[in-house]
Amino acid sequence: MGTGSGILSALQDLFSITWLNRSKVEKQLQVISVLQWVLSFLVLGVACSAILMYTFCTDCWLIAVLYFTWLAFDWNTPKKGGRRSQWVRNWAVWRYFRDYFPIQLVKTHNLLTTRNYIFGYHPHGIMGLGAFCNFSTEATEVSKKFPGIRPYLATLAGNFRMPVLREYLMSGGICPVNRDTIDYLLSKNGSGNAIIIVVGGAAESLSSMPGKNAVTLRNRKGFVKLALRHGADLVPTYSFGENEVYKQVIFEEGSWGRWVQKKFQKYIGFAPCIFHGRGLFSSDTWGLVPYSKPITTVVGEPITIPKLEHPTQQDIDLYHTMYMEALVKLFDKHKTKFGLPETEVLEVN
């Protein structure tokens, strides 16, 4: 009897140790999955460009020639929606990515497959991690929640001039955020298209910090004009927790740091930020891995938009005001569900 109890106790200890180790492995896989995307976002394009240029000077120069020939031939593909891969969008790595924070996609209304849509995504955060996970992968089952809808996350066109990085982005359904691309998707790609635009852009990322819910929207009206020209419904989307995953140094208006950021934003299209998350092996150290804070993206009710080939400024202002009101209403309705107090107010700049 004593021997049996001893064996049972030993087995219980063994299983508890196995579970503990498995838990640690799962967490490390989650950290690695997030870090690979962060590094891809920050350095993949530049690194691949440098490697290809170096290859020109080696015995493997033919590889670089073949790739750049392909690049010239394929140059306009991103402007036509890219070349998405369901295989890539369903990689297991994205599920680890989702579970690290975790990230959740909340649907509030159905979307008709006979219409096209422009989602306004808020806030930008440092990297728009919620936008990427929810709309460029199937980790949160966007295709099941919105059947018949093809999401296209729009990002800086300059990313698609970077070798290899452009292929990686297109495989997830990411496209350039420019007029040619959006015009094509909303007029020559049938119906059921949903273009996700991070409206606040680089300017909004400069004010991203934990505990702050603010959007740059008041003077951003270009997406409304595009929606009117194509009759695409506007869908306000707010991501609770997007600003919580990184900490950054905020430069005051008029400081040299803010001056440099604005110059980059004006001439290059992005604003460099000094930010940090946690370390690779410890949450007590600084590093590039974002903090594991929940991100919940709530997709609001679509605003029906008429098709006006030549919308007036009055038309644009009207629907822009409707959109701002709908976004604030969406924020107020869901804020207490995701840890914010009833008194929290969305700051619209």
Mean pLDDT for the stretch of residues 80-92: 95
- pLDDT tens digit sequence for 36-64: 999 998 899 899 999 999 998 999 899 99
Backbone torsions φ then ψ of 108, nearest 5 degrees: -110, -25
Stretch among 28-32, 108-112, 240-244, 261-265 having the lowest mean pLDDT = 261-265
pLDDT over 70, % of the chain:
94
pLDDT at 330 over 80: yes
User: What does the pLDDT read at residue 13?
Assistant: 56
| More confident: 81 or 9 | 81
pLDDT at 3 over 60: no
pLDDT at 1 over 60: no
User: What does the pLDDT read at residue 304?
Assistant: 97
- Residue 305 near residue 341, CB atoms below 8 Å: no
Q: What count of other Cβ atoms lies within 10 Å of the Cβ of residue 221? A: 16
Structure tokens given for 298: 């709530």
Q: Give bridge partners of residue 248 from the DSSP assignment.
A: 275
Stretch among 96-105, 159-168, 182-191, 269-278 having the lowest mean pLDDT = 269-278
User: What does the pLDDT read at residue 134?
Assistant: 98
pLDDT at 340 over 60: yes
DSSP codes of every residue in 263-293: HHHHHTS-----EEEE-SS-TTSEESBPP--
Structure tokens given for 242: 């997007």
Question: How far apart, in whole angstroms, are the C-alpha atoms of residue 59 and residue 150?
Answer: 43
Residue 166, helix vs strand vs coil? helix
User: What does the pLDDT read at residue 2?
Assistant: 46
Question: How far apart, in whole angstroms, are the C-alpha atoms of residue 227 and residue 315?
Answer: 11
Residue 110, helix vs strand vs coil? coil
pLDDT at 27 over 50: yes
pTM: 0.89
Mean pLDDT for the stretch of residues 120-139: 96
| More confident: 35 or 260 | 35
∠ CA 38-126-221 to the nearest 5 degrees? 130
pLDDT at 92 over 60: yes
- pLDDT tens digit sequence for 277-290: 998 888 788 999 99
Residues 6+ apart with CB under 8 A from 20: none
- pLDDT tens digit sequence for 169-224: 999 999 999 999 999 999 999 999 999 999 998 888 888 999 999 999 999 999 99
pLDDT at 14 over 60: no
Residues 6+ apart with CB under 8 A from 86: 138
- pLDDT tens digit sequence for 305-314: 999 999 999 9
User: What does the pLDDT read at residue 41?
Assistant: 87
pLDDT at 168 over 60: yes
Mean pLDDT for the stretch of residues 130-147: 97
pLDDT over 90, % of the chain:
75
pLDDT at 23 over 90: no
